[in-house]
Structure 1
Amino acid sequence: MKITEIHVFKADLPVVNGPYKMSHSSVWALNSILVKIVCDNGFFGWGETCPVGSSYNESFSSGAAAALMEMAPGLIGTSILPIPLHTRMDQLLKGHNYVKAAIDIAAHDALGKSLGLSVSDLLGGALVDRVPSYYALNLATPEDASRQALEKCKEGYPRLQLKVGGRPVEQDIATIRKVWESIDGKGVRLVIDANRGLLTRDVLTISKACIQIPLVIEQPCENVDDLRALRPLVHHPIYMDENTVNPNNALVGAATGLVDGFGLKVTQLGGLYPMRAIRDICALRRLPHTCDDTWGGDIMAAACTHIGATVAPNLLEGVWIAAPYIEGHYDFENGLSVESGHIKVPTLPGLGIIPDESGLSQPIASYS
């Protein structure tokens, strides 16, 4: 199967009851970039990439569109099989994993459809028919965060992620304690996520002040050197997220014992093909991890859910999708959602998602 056409679309994804608050930014709306590839046997596939603004990582939606336009002409005639596809993308453009991921996802979708297999089948086979999700609690006051944590606990979420950082550390400590007070004993795991928004000093202060709370600290500081310095000093497990900017970083983190787990994102790693490799390394090292992404609609949600379904349940920390934070679907019949804290794994061939093109704007670029 070879690529004969590539079409690039833009979709607006407003945040419901926004903004979505993190340590470094507040997000009201996002632009997602969708890719449709058509193959020489008539099968087609969809991919997506949706950076969270321009300051979360070295990515932004206009850059994604431009990079796709840079690569697309050279991808016509390329096989959709992972090795030749990624080899060709790397020949055409250095880096920009978050863009290559959209093509990679679309290729998996098309290949699955042509073989009558779901993407999870292509990735080795689903172990479950639904995956656990988790809910990310915005930066908030102790009272508001506690109230929302209890609500999400009652909705069935097995894991909650509490945003911290970007404010006095005393406020974070008070919020963490209040949230734990509301969910203690309810079987819900707690993660605090700073999105690189804490100083090492503050991480040590939080870990010491919350030593009795069994929480995980996710990506507390800016760089890997900070994580390396903190690792032997903190009283809690540390997970790497934003620093997994490519498969090599994830490999080093797993192989050297730098961290206790990961927040893995499909687009940061460059797609499902490299994500599968890191998943298998984590399995060998017995490292728990999430399977999710920065943001996105049904296409990205399906990709994350499929790879999540192939992870050993005792190592899967959850699959985060943006569905609870946005309105509408690309595919109103098969669009994904969170029910009782879990997501059903699509069973149709490919991703199991076919966007309604009438609901999208005209392509911003097309190649054949």
Structure 2
Amino acid sequence: MKITGISLWHVPLTAHVTYTMAAGKSCATVETVVLALDTDIGLTGWGEVCPIPHYLPAYARGVAPVVQELAPVLLGADPVGPEAVMARLERRLQGHDYAKSALDIALWDLTGQAAGLPLHALLGGRQAETMPLYHSITCTAPEEMARIALDALDQGITQFQVKLGAEADWQADVARLRMVREAVGPGPLVYGDWNCGATSLEATRVGRVVRDLDVMLEQPCATIDDCARVRTATGLPMKLDESAYDTASLLEGHAKGCMDVAALKLSKFGGLSATRRARDLCKHLGARMCIEDTWGSDITTAALLHLGAASAPDRVLNVCDLSGYVSPRLAPAGPVRHNGRIAPPTGVGLGVAPDRDALGPPDMMLD
């Protein structure tokens, strides 16, 4: 089997609710990049990456130039064995992991189709039939956030990410955490996420006031050192997200005692291949994992669900149903949540494929 063509689309996605984060950042309408690798035997592998503007060093319109630069290595290559292909791509062009993430997912999709197996069978074997979801609550008035949490609780969700830091008022963040915690009652997991938007002083003040609550903090500051200071000062468990993006950062977060949980986002690491290695390291380190991605629809959701299903259930804290937050869905027959949990797609490879007619003419075609 040989790769004979590469097609790429830019598809706007609209969030059902505008997600407001710290430091004035928000996510309402974003552009996801959909990629198809066609082969000489009629199989097509699909990939997707969806950067959030102004969030991480990633840019949706930067994917196409990277793919164009890598096309001489991809075209004519045998896609079976994604890690070998990705190694050749890295020798051609270092870095740009977010753009390579879509390529890596598509290579895994082709490998699964060629083997006649779902991806979770190739990523370690299925260990979980379904996985728990979390619900991300936009940073708005505390009372409204509590209402959103109750609605999600009624749908079976038992893990709640509370966005913090929309304004320079640390006491408002205290109210957000307290009101959501009280709304959902004891038992469910509640964690406050600053997306790097707080100083260690602000995050420590919030954490010390809510120490009587059963809550976790997520990535309050931009550096691991500052997150570690907050972890030590508050005594509250912590999840690393933006600072956890490769094996070195995972080792640093663990060594500095502030990585009780790590967010393993496919596009941060560069696709399934690299995120699988991160998963195995987290298991070795004893950290819990949120297996997810920055944003996206059915293709990236399918990829992360296969990886989650092939991971040790006692180490997977949650996964994310990205396609449940946006419209339109790229593959309407993709997996859907049920009672706060979700399963990977059935079928070989990713188990999802968008309708080319619905996507329209590609923005880039290489052959």
TM norm. shorter chain > 0.5: yes
1:225 aligns with 2:225: yes
Aligned partners of 1:21 and 1:139 also within 8 Å = yes
Deviation at 1:56, TM superposition (A): 0.5
Cα displacement string for residues 51-89 of structure 1 (whole angstroms, at most 9, x for unaligned residues): 012x10001111122222222233212332123211111
Aligned partners of 1:246 and 1:270 also within 8 Å = no
The one-letter code sitting in structure 2 at the alignment partner of 1:22 is: M
TM-score of the superposition, structure 1-length normalised? 0.95
Deviation at 1:29, TM superposition (A): 0.5
Deviation at 1:261, TM superposition (A): 1.5
Which residue is equivalent to 2:65? Answer: 66
Aligned partners of 2:158 and 2:340 also within 8 Å = yes
Cα displacement string for residues 122-150 of structure 1 (whole angstroms, at most 9, x for unaligned residues): 10111122211111000011110111111
Which residue is equivalent to 1:149? Answer: 149
| Higher mean displacement: 265-274 or 316-325 | 316-325
1:179 aligns with 2:180: yes
Task: Output aligned runs, 1:217-366, within 5 Å.
Answer: 217-254=217-254, 257-332=257-332, 334-366=333-365
The whole-number CA distance in structure 2 between the counterparts of 1:48 and 1:173 is 37
Distance change (3 Å), C-alpha of 1:247 and 1:36: farther
Structure 1 segments (4+ residues) deviating >3 Å: 254-258
Amino-acid identity (%): 32
Aligned partners of 2:149 and 2:180 also within 8 Å = yes
Aligned partners of 1:48 and 1:299 also within 8 Å = yes
Cα displacement string for residues 337-368 of structure 1 (whole angstroms, at most 9, x for unaligned residues): 22211112212000000111111021111112
The whole-number CA distance in structure 1 between the counterparts of 2:32 and 2:328 is 14
Deviation at 1:5, TM superposition (A): 1.6
Cα displacement string for residues 151-207 of structure 1 (whole angstroms, at most 9, x for unaligned residues): 11111012110000132101000111111111122x311111110011100111111
Aligned partners of 1:254 and 1:282 also within 8 Å = no
Deviation at 1:234, TM superposition (A): 2.0
Aligned partners of 2:63 and 2:99 also within 8 Å = yes
| Higher mean displacement: 275-284 or 322-331 | 322-331
The whole-number CA distance in structure 1 between the counterparts of 2:193 and 2:309 is 23
Aligned partners of 2:174 and 2:210 also within 8 Å = yes
The whole-number CA distance in structure 1 between the counterparts of 2:74 and 2:327 is 33
The whole-number CA distance in structure 2 between the counterparts of 1:44 and 1:247 is 31
Which residue is equivalent to 2:171? Answer: 170
Which residue is equivalent to 2:133? Answer: 133
| Higher mean displacement: 230-239 or 345-354 | 230-239
Q: Residue 101 of structure 1: SS of its match in structure 2?
A: helix
The whole-number CA distance in structure 2 between the counterparts of 1:148 and 1:329 is 22
| Higher mean displacement: 20-29 or 255-264 | 255-264
Q: Residue 250 of structure 1: SS of its match in structure 2?
A: helix
Q: State how many pairs are aligned.
A: 364
| Higher mean displacement: 296-305 or 78-87 | 78-87
Aligned partners of 2:160 and 2:191 also within 8 Å = yes
The one-letter code sitting in structure 1 at the alignment partner of 2:20 is: K
Which residue is equivalent to 2:159? Answer: 159
Cα displacement string for residues 230-278 of structure 1 (whole angstroms, at most 9, x for unaligned residues): 3322221111101123343224334554421201101100111111111
Aligned partners of 2:14 and 2:328 also within 8 Å = no
1:93 aligns with 2:104: no
Which residue is equivalent to 1:11? Answer: 11
The whole-number CA distance in structure 2 between the counterparts of 1:48 and 1:323 is 12
Q: Residue 27 of structure 1: SS of its match in structure 2?
A: strand
The whole-number CA distance in structure 2 between the counterparts of 1:56 and 1:39 is 35
TM-score of the superposition, structure 2-length normalised? 0.95
Which residue is equivalent to 1:200? Answer: 200
Distance change (3 Å), C-alpha of 1:256 and 1:143: closer
The one-letter code sitting in structure 1 at the alignment partner of 2:182 is: E
The whole-number CA distance in structure 2 between the counterparts of 1:257 and 1:82 is 33
